[in-house]
Amino acid sequence: MKGYDVIARVLKAEGVEFIACYPRNPLIEACAKQGIRPVVCRQERVGIGIADGFSRVTNGTRLGVFVCQHGPGAENAFPGIAQAYSDNVPLLFLPAGEPLSRQGVTPSFSAVDNYRHVTKWSTYVSDPRRLAPALRHAFYRLRTGRGGPVMVETGMDALFGEVDREPVYRPVPGSRFAPDPAALTAAVDALVAAERPVLHVGQGVLFAGATAELVRVAEALDAPVVTTMPGKSAFPENHPLSVGASAITKPAHLLAAYADADCIFAVGSSLTKTTYGTSLPPDAGAPGGKVLIQATVSEEDVHKDYAVDHTLVGDARLVLDAVARELERRGVARGPGPRAEATRAAKAAFLDDWRAEFDSDEVPINQYRVIRDMMANLDPAETIVTHDAGTPREQIISFWEATTPRGYLGWGKSTQLGFGLGAIMGAKLAEPDKVCINVMGDAAIGMVGMDLETAARNRIGIVTVIFNNGIMAIESDSLVDAHTDFGANFVGGQYAALAESLGAAGERVTQPADFPAALERAVATSREGRPAVIEVMAKAGYRWPGRPEQGLG
């Protein structure tokens, strides 16, 4: 048996449903013979985005896999793996590698050397007898602890080498960890003593499948809940205790919730200070300031950017269940109560302040009118929405109401333009019965637009909404003279026509009243397995919560 057959049989045993891939690698054909579907992309970073989105939507219970050739394939894949690493997303990366005889020879590319800092674990295998053990360890690492991409670089010696018999292989379960009981008691003491606790919720709650436990804790404490961008949808945003999520945007009611708190319970969060998130108040964890409790699956997160008063290291579901049980044992049942009502009222007032944007009849079209119409014409419980980097992210994150886990895919501490297209294809492969929508700008489509053909060829029925305003709006404050003197921010294209030429359905919308009908047609098309693109001719000026309108020309 060849080494590539060993790998394919291991993937089959582990329940791998498809491999995103870009030739050339003999593993692709070997997987096809095992009934594992190859989804061939147009570029490696999008293929990894497909695997990434699949793993996110399934919370890692079903794993995305990406396969590529050695040398240029492994080189081109780097941005996608870096994106997954920044967001702690478990996926298996299987690049081919140079044979052992070429290791260390310039200019041969060594994936294991170059990916060491953007993978949770990586190894190089040159002996086919080591393939099954390496993959066994890889799957354990993928299912245990902090998420992240795992790489097994398979040298040509391993791929084409032979083993005498088929290895005996059993699927590998992961391990979960519960918090230290003494630390748990101290943390609950602090929560009960607090008069105004706030929950700061990250993506770890989603990967742990802990939404029900989170709701129990929030209601027992009558504590408002703020989610990070990757954590958005971990708490139902139609709940009265939901404050919402934030990226660069800084909604006033969200900042007020932090400012009012005397205790912040961060759960499933690395508490990483990032441009693309809301930092905690300066006195969080400081002497005499707000008490800071951090529950995380990894000790690497603790005392990194903040001094923490109480630490709970463990799986978010086990942590929250233990906290909920202890609160129940102590008879703590405060809500939903007055703080829930205050949170609901503050959020409603915030949305009312944006009513003019939602109802705008402007031409070119106001992007917030589109977001309003998406909310009005789609069932959030049966929809998965993601965004791309830049203004689409900032315009949608505060206003799309995510009611079910993974109804919204938020990302990234790294925010690469174009990631949303691959991610939403992976989401559709994971949840084929849901409406899967990616909202992106005209700069992002320039990065990955050819992979609309990947969706068409593979009959992945996604909907892509493109805000075409002819300009890279988010860059306006950093390219002032470059734009004024040389037009550096201008971009252009006819993206509905592009979509049609690549096998997708395409429609351009120029009037705001026409968008709902276009959306209905696009959703119907997507249900037939054909991707659809709605090109919205959008206004160039933009406004975000916490940021005044920027006028562009």
Give pLDDT tens digits for 499-522: 999 999 999 999 999 999 999 999
Please name every residue paired with 263 in a beta bridge, in sequence order, or none if there are none: 197, 291
- Minimal CA–CA distance to 49: which of 74, 75, 82, 27? 82
Name the DSSP letter for residue 129.
G
- Minimal CA–CA distance to 31: which of 67, 55, 63? 67
**Residue 313 and residue 416 in one domain:** no
**Residue 115 and residue 85 in one domain:** yes
Is 462 a domain residue? yes
Residues 6+ apart with CB under 8 A from 503: 452, 453, 456, 457, 530, 531
Residue 140 is part of a domain; what is its CATH number?
Answer: 3.40.50.970
If pLDDT is split at 50, 70 and 90, which confidence band does 346 have? very high
Q: Which of 115-124, 221-230, 408-417, 542-551 has the lowest mean pLDDT?
A: 542-551
Using the predicted structure, report yes or no on whether residue 471 has a pLDDT greater than 80.
no
Q: What is the mean pLDDT of residues 112-138?
A: 97
- Minimal CA–CA distance to 230: which of 62, 382, 52? 52
Q: Please give the structure tokens belonging to residue 10.
A: 């291991």
In degrees, rounded to 5, the angle at the alpha carbon of residue 123 between the alpha carbons of residues 122 and 125 is: 150
Q: What is the pLDDT of residues 524-549, one digit of tens each?
A: 999 999 999 999 999 987 778 877 66
Residue 506 CB neighbours (<10 A) = 22
Is 170 a domain residue? no
Cα–Cα dist 455/475, whole Å? 29
Is 62 a domain residue? yes
Which of the listed residues 131, 160, 189 is the one where a domain comes to its end?
160
Is 456 a domain residue? yes
Top pLDDT among 485 and 341 is at: 341
Which of the listed residues 112, 129, 160 is the one where a domain comes to its end?
160
Cα–Cα dist 309/10, whole Å? 44
**Environment class of residue 306 by beta-carbon count within 10 Å: exposed (0-12), middle (13-18) or buried (19+)?**
buried
Is 322 a domain residue? yes
**Residue 336 and residue 364 in one domain:** no
Residue 84 lies in domain = 3-160
Q: What is the mean pLDDT of residues 221-231?
A: 97
Q: Evaluate whether 206 touches 344 at the Cβ level (below 8 Å).
A: no
**Residue 460 and residue 529 in one domain:** yes
Q: Evaluate whether 150 touches 121 at the Cβ level (below 8 Å).
A: yes
Residue 199 is part of a domain; what is its CATH number?
Answer: 3.40.50.1220
Number of domain units in the chain:
3
Using the predicted structure, report yes or no on whether residue 276 has a pLDDT greater than 90.
no
Phi, psi for 379 (deg, rounded to 5):
-90, 110
Is 188 a domain residue? yes
If pLDDT is split at 50, 70 and 90, which confidence band does 553 have? very low
**Residue 482 and residue 397 in one domain:** yes
Q: Residues 374-408, buried b or exposed e (16+ Cβ, 10 A)?
A: bbeebebeebbbbbbbbbbbbbbbbbbbbbbbbbb
Q: What is the mean pLDDT of residues 412-437?
A: 95
**Environment class of residue 126 by beta-carbon count within 10 Å: exposed (0-12), middle (13-18) or buried (19+)?**
buried
Cα–Cα dist 67/48, whole Å? 9
Residue 273 CB neighbours (<10 A) = 12
Cis peptide before 216 (omega within 30 of 0): no
Phi, psi for 10 (deg, rounded to 5):
-65, -45
Cα–Cα dist 347/300, whole Å? 34
What's the mean per-residue pLDDT of the chain?
95
**Residue 422 and residue 532 in one domain:** yes
Residues 6+ apart with CB under 8 A from 39: 18, 19, 20, 21, 47, 50, 425, 429, 454, 458, 460
**Residue 270 and residue 308 in one domain:** yes
Using the predicted structure, report yes or no on whether residue 394 has a pLDDT greater than 80.
yes
The CA-atom distances, in angstroms, between 300 and each of 146, 346, 540 are 9, 35, 42
Is 524 a domain residue? yes
Q: What is the mean pLDDT of residues 12-33?
A: 97
Which of the listed residues 346, 378, 393 is the one where a domain comes to its end?
346
